[in-house]
Amino acid sequence: MLDAKITGLINEQINKEWYSAYLYLDIYSYYTDKNLNGFGNWFYVQAQEERDHAMLFVKYLLNNDEQVALTDVQASTKKFAAFEEPLEATLAHERIVTASINNIYDAAYSLKDFRTMQFLDWFVKEQGEEEKNATDLIKRFDLFGSDAKGLYLLDSELAARIYAPPTLVI
């Protein structure tokens, strides 16, 4: 059993993770439509990871005999006018998700909910990686993206990203 505040925040987080999956599916569609299939692949994998995050939070609630309350997932309304914009939107979004995870952690800390803190440790680390990945993508785009050959090679590199299930097992 968890404190009602923690259950509520985790239910909200489930929606945020599904929204992240939607956002990245939208970015996948954007790049694939532009024939940047490697960029598209990178975001397709990212959307799969976000779905996994949502599932982990669902499982955590159920493992603790708490109710899962699924809510409507908003579609992304972002419009992109340049290839770099989705990358910047990704970094901005991941920073928001980091703040949200930290907020749950803070609530768990206040309630001495050590179990939830331990569960969230994986997400705290994951958010560090997510922000770094988004930052690296922007830096690489800045270095190579303005030249057609560089963009082609970067796209080829991103095509190699392969989906791997989360290392967190609960």
Q: Which two tokens stand for residue 25?
A: 């599916």
What is the nearest approach in angstroms of ligand FEO to the Cβ of residue 55?
11
- Please check whether residue 57 is in contact with residue 21, taking contact to mean a CB–CB distance below 8 angstroms: no
Number of chain positions touching ligand FEO (CB under 6 A): 7
What is the nearest approach in angstroms of ligand FEO to the Cβ of residue 149?
31
What is the nearest approach in angstroms of ligand FEO to the Cβ of residue 152?
27
SS3 letters across 57-114: HHHHHHHCCCCCCCCCCCCCCCCCCCCCHHHHHHHHHHHHHHHHHHHHHHHHHHCCCH
150/166 with CB nearer ligand FEO: 166
φ, ψ of residue 166 in degrees (nearest 5): -60, 150
Q: Name the nearest CA neighbour of 54 among 87, 10, 115, 110.
A: 10
> Which of 11, 20, 41, 116 is close enough to bind ligand FEO by CB under 6 A?
20
80/122 with CB nearer ligand FEO: 122
Is residue 53 near ligand FEO by the rule CB under 6 A?
A: yes
Is residue 26 near ligand FEO by the rule CB under 6 A?
A: no
Tell which positions 81-140 bind ligand FEO, by CB under 6 A: 94, 97, 130
Nearest residue to the partner ligand FEO, using Cβ? 53
Q: Name the nearest CA neighbour of 50 among 113, 101, 104, 108.
A: 101
Instruction: Please report, as ranges, the residues that interact with ligand FEO according to CB under 6 A.
Output: 17, 20, 50, 53, 94, 97, 130
